[in-house]
Chains A and B, each alone.
Chain A
Amino acid sequence: MLELKNVSWKLEEEDKWILRDINLKVQKGERLVLTGPNGGGKTTLARVIAGLREGAEGEIWLDGQRIDGLDITGRARAGLGYAFQQPVRFKGVTVEELMQMAAGEQCSREELCHLLSQVGLCARDYLGREVGNGLSGGEIKRVEIATVLARKPRAAVFDEPEAGIDLWSFDKLIQVFGDRDRWPGALVLISHQRRLMEVADTIGVVCQGRLVDIGPREQMLPRLFGEKSGQCPWDGGND
């Protein structure tokens, strides 16, 4: 289980709180989708969980282990996965090498191929390619997701996994995120896509740095998509 207790984070340069008192629990096998207006703090929250933003207040627990005192590596080794919203490109690192780093020595080439095929990539064509400018935005995004899946994390945060991905690969991703037998960890998906929300058990709304609403999918979808005003109903407009 991934649990956040009163997590806050302040942008020191501007003396501004970006996240305030976030509390949530994601059980093993649970899919939580976090949505909300742009600039509401979702990506910052994902980065705080993964350890990419230092100086956060509050507590983060993973399967009974407190991890907020650990650095990025420590959290990864504790079983936390994190997929970047904008994947990183590398010079001289191939898809296979990156996948092997992610999986560790126990992962065979066949397993890597299978993981890549799950995100819609034909492994034979991709394993030897550099994770660099030769890959399109959608391709590198799928490699990014595959590296997280390769780690078989206890809990993982995917920041807008659908961004830049074509319709057919998106279908495969939805299957992956929905397959609780194959991927039994706790998953946090940051997304604006209704189709991803439909595989969620729970949906939360992050707005102005706060978790302003959270509940079961069946309750949250009508609230999110029943609103016709064109405005986020939780966004009061005050900073």
Chain B
Amino acid sequence: MKAITEKLLEVVSDFKGKLWEKSAYSVREDGGCAAIHSTQHTHITPKPDGSGLDITVDEGTQGETVYIPACITHGGVEEVVYNDFHIGKNADITIYAGCGVHVEGEEGSRHSGIHRFFLAEGAKVHYIEKHAGEGQGEGKKVLDPQTWFELGEGSLLEMDTTQLGGVDRTCRITKGKVGKDARLLVRERLLTEKDQQADSQFEVDLLGENSGCDLVSRAVAKDQSHQDFSSLIRGFAPCTGHTACDALLMGQGTVDAAPRLAARCEDASLIHEAAIGKIAGEQLWKLQTLGLTREEAEERLVAGFLK
């Protein structure tokens, strides 16, 4: 692997100098496979047409961690990757995914990872997805991740997704179906600065009785950056759904937020919230009374907000 790839891996996938010996992993580098490894219970197989991977986790697998990061180290790369995750009955695993893009020249790069999750009955997945861009080049760093899911009876998908800077353009789409007694928990953290733009869209169908969804997005738009947030939770059964977008504006940053609900069952209990504003003056004052400068206070407040 290239040195830049290793550096990007540290940012996006909990990489600490060497590959994860006891885990299943696939590292994608500039459109090719840099490393791939399966374990006894987690099988990573390239799709026959080369478009991506099939990741299959055996029924009952407990405590394993799977790493599926992608890195782009230069401009001129444009790729779409399809990775399908088939999680067996009652498996309980953690998946690290995400993408880092490094561009130095004027030519940009774009990565679109389309991840589909199929959780069998009682399966639990903690999905940690990080996106980051770096490099001094003028070329645009573009990341367009998509996450699709089908949650079987009694399953749980807990998704932590973060993009904390360096990505010029992103269109993030998360959509899927939640079955009986299944739950989807999403925590999104998005930071844009300079003239970056981010569009984050969620669409969740609560299909099964006692299904649930909690979708919370926190966003910071700095400088002249702009973010769009939209979410739609549809309740087709007795279910609970909550969607919230909380955004901080700094400088000339702007945010459009549109959480939506649609109840198609009288026992669907759905809530949405959205709040957009700058950092409250009293919050800055409080930290200043503790000895922090205004700039230090802003930094701490943003870090806490996006934690």
Q: Which residues of A contact B (CB under 8 A)?
A: 50, 52, 71-73, 76-77, 81-82, 84, 87-88, 90-93, 97-98, 101-102, 104, 147, 151
Contacts and interface: CB of A to CB of B under 8 A. Distances in A.
A91 B280 contact: no
A111 to B, nearest CB: 16
A37 B291 CA distance: 32
A76 B290 contact: yes
A188 to B, nearest CB: 14
B292 to A, nearest CB: 7
For the residues of B in contact with A, the DSSP-based class is: helix
A128 to B, nearest CB: 12
A120 B66 CA distance: 45
Nearest to B302: A92
Contact of A102 (B290, B293, B304, B307): B290
B300 to A, nearest CB: 7
15 contacts: A73-B288, A73-B291, A73-B292, A73-B294, A76-B288, A81-B289, A82-B289, A84-B286, A88-B286, A90-B304, A92-B218, A93-B300, A97-B304, A101-B287, A102-B290
Given A91-B246, A93-B300, A101 B282 contact: no
B76 to A, nearest CB: 38
Given A93-B301, A93-B304, A101-B300, A151 B291 contact: yes
Given A76-B288, A77-B291, 12 more contacts: A52-B285, A73-B293, A76-B291, A81-B289, A82-B289, A84-B282, A84-B286, A88-B285, A91-B305, A92-B304, A92-B306, A104-B291
B51 interface: no
Contacts of B39: none
A92 B305 contact: yes
Given A73-B294, A93-B300, A97-B304, A88 B283 contact: yes
A92 B292 contact: no
Contacts of A81: 289
Question: B282, B283, B285, B291 — which one has the most chain A CB atoms within 10 A of its CB?
Answer: B291
Contacts of A88: 280, 282-283, 285-286
A86 to B, nearest CB: 8
Nearest to B295: A73
Interface of B: 218, 246, 280, 282-283, 285-294, 300-301, 303-307
B127 to A, nearest CB: 21
Contacts of B246: 91
Nearest to A79: B291
B307 A76 contact: no
Contacts of A151: 290-291
A192 B282 CA distance: 24
A102 B290 CA distance: 5
Contacts of A50: 289
Nearest to A86: B282
A130 to B, nearest CB: 9
A144 to B, nearest CB: 8
A35 to B, nearest CB: 23
A90 B282 CA distance: 10
Contacts of B294: 73
Contacts of B218: 91-92
A230 B164 CA distance: 59
Nearest to A101: B290
10 closest A-B pairs (Cβ-Cβ)?
A92-B304, A72-B288, A93-B304, A88-B286, A76-B291, A92-B307, A102-B290, A73-B288, A82-B289, A92-B305
Contacts of A93: 300-301, 304
Interface centre among B218, B285, B286 (most CB of A within 10 A): B286
Contacts of A101: 287, 290-292, 300
Nearest to A93: B304
Contacts of A91: 218, 246, 304-305
Contacts of A104: 291
B301 A90 contact: yes
A38 B305 CA distance: 36
A77 B294 CA distance: 13
Contacts of B293: 73
A154 B287 CA distance: 18
Nearest to B282: A88
A171 to B, nearest CB: 26
A135 to B, nearest CB: 14
Choose among B286, B289, B293 the residue with the greatest number of A CB atoms under 10 Å from its CB: B289
Nearest to A72: B288
A13 B292 CA distance: 29
Contacts of A97: 304
Contacts of A87: 286
B101 to A, nearest CB: 27
Nearest to B286: A88
A176 to B, nearest CB: 19
Contacts of A82: 289
